[in-house]
Amino acid sequence: MPKITISILAIEETMIYTLAGPYDIFSAAASCSQQAVPTAPPFLTFTSIVGVNKGPLRCYNGFTIDCQQDLTETGDVDLVVIPSVDFADEPFLQKYPELKTWLINQHKNGAVLASVCAGSFILAETGLLDGKVTTTHWAFAELMQSKFPNVQVHSDMIITEQDNIICAGGATSWQDLVTYLVEKYSTVETAKYIEQFFLLNSHQGGQRPYKQHKSTISHGDLTIEKSQAWIEQHLEADDLLMLAIKQSGLAERTFKRRFKKATTQSPNEYIQNLRIDTAKSLLLTSSATVQDISEQVGLMDGSYFRRLFKRKTSMTAHDFRRQFSTYHHENKVMRVE
């Protein structure tokens, strides 16, 4: 099995755990592959942390790491991993102009480029994602789509791949990405062994179960902002939309037009999404029944609520509670008093 060279990028905005996790696992890949498939050649990797400059680098939240190579020392590599990053005050490639040339040349020379979470914004700035699919953290999807309209953002997905560019969703999806890359370059057996040995979390349901569905767009329409706040306080009300329109003092047609313009969601869609977001919170923090929660968010028809919940989250309400609720810690915590 050939040896692959991996460069993991580090800049000042890098979130260290999304760099250190892949680095440690790729570094252990050879021994893991021999445990998984003893009769096969080991999965050999040469992994290095690469910075714009070589040497110590102070990253996000003040953590300092050592960049083992600078961009000029890497040569052509097989895989470039871009960890998640905090957003800078200026475009990343305006701050690091040499990085654009390096990424484009690596891709042109056959390297796979893989990003974690907001690392996809760096790839988008290169232009390499134009016309291609990508994913990023669900909370940043609207921002990415507005900044890079030629990119096809699929925020429900954990991983997307097109033309040797791989993007992973939220920051902890570095775990899904590493497993996917090990399987891509090595074997399914090695990937599964690493997943189980390191207890990596696989986000099988995509990002939808984690996603906040109501619009998070900031806007300057004060009337609509007041209506949003009023809706949130009266979710259980009958005929909520008409009451909200009346409360706003706007004509129905004007209200709907301004609401959609301000939030990018129709009032009906916004109310549905807010009800599901509220229901998710109640499922996680209370012991109320699913039917009780359905009624608390203004959906008296429990059957409709269950269908809507599954459509929005890709999970049933019971499965969502079972997987994420703190009331089910007994499955993973041994407490002795």
The reported pLDDT for the residue numbered 333 is 65
- Specify the pLDDT at position 49: 98
DSSP element (H, E) containing 277: helix 267-285
CA distances to 32, 172, 287 from 120, rounded to whole Å, are 29, 14, 38
Q: Which CATH class is domain 222-327?
A: mainly alpha
DSSP state of 156: T
From 70, 78, 82, 83, select the one nearest 107 (Cα to Cα).
78
For position 258, what pLDDT does the model report?
95
* N-to-C CA span, the chain: 52
Cβ neighbours of 233 (radius 10 Å): 9
Q: Which amino acid is at 12?
A: E
pLDDT tens digit sequence for 35-76: 998 988 999 999 999 999 999 999 999 999 999 999 999 999
C-alpha distance from residue 167 to each of 112, 116, 213, 287, 312 (Å): 11, 6, 22, 37, 23
Hey, where are the domains in the chain?
Answer: 4-208, 222-327
Edge-to-edge strands, sheet with 45-51: 69-70, 45-51, 4-10, 79-82, 112-116, 165-168, 159-162
pLDDT, position 203: 83
Contacts 24+ apart (CB under 8 A), 92-100: 92/11, 92/13, 92/121, 92/122, 92/125, 93/122, 93/125, 93/126, 96/11, 96/52, 98/52, 98/71, 99/9, 99/11, 99/52, 99/71, 100/125, 100/126
Q: What is the pTM of this model?
A: 0.83
The per-residue pLDDT of the chain, averaged, comes to 93
Q: What is the mean pLDDT of residues 155-173?
A: 94
Contact 179, 21 (CB under 8 A): no
Superfamily of domain 4-208, CATH level 4: Class I glutamine amidotransferase (GATase) domain (3.40.50.880)
Contact 159, 166 (CB under 8 A): yes
What does the alpha-carbon distance between residue 231 and residue 241 come to, in Å, rounded to a whole number?
Answer: 8
Distances (CA, A) of 193 to 11, 29, 249, 288: 31, 10, 61, 39
Q: What is the mean pLDDT of residues 174-202?
A: 93
pLDDT digits (tens, 9 = 90+) for 196-221: 999 998 787 788 888 888 877 788 89
Tell me the average pLDDT across 271-275: 95
In this predicted structure, the answer to whether residue 2 has a pLDDT above a threshold of 70 is: no
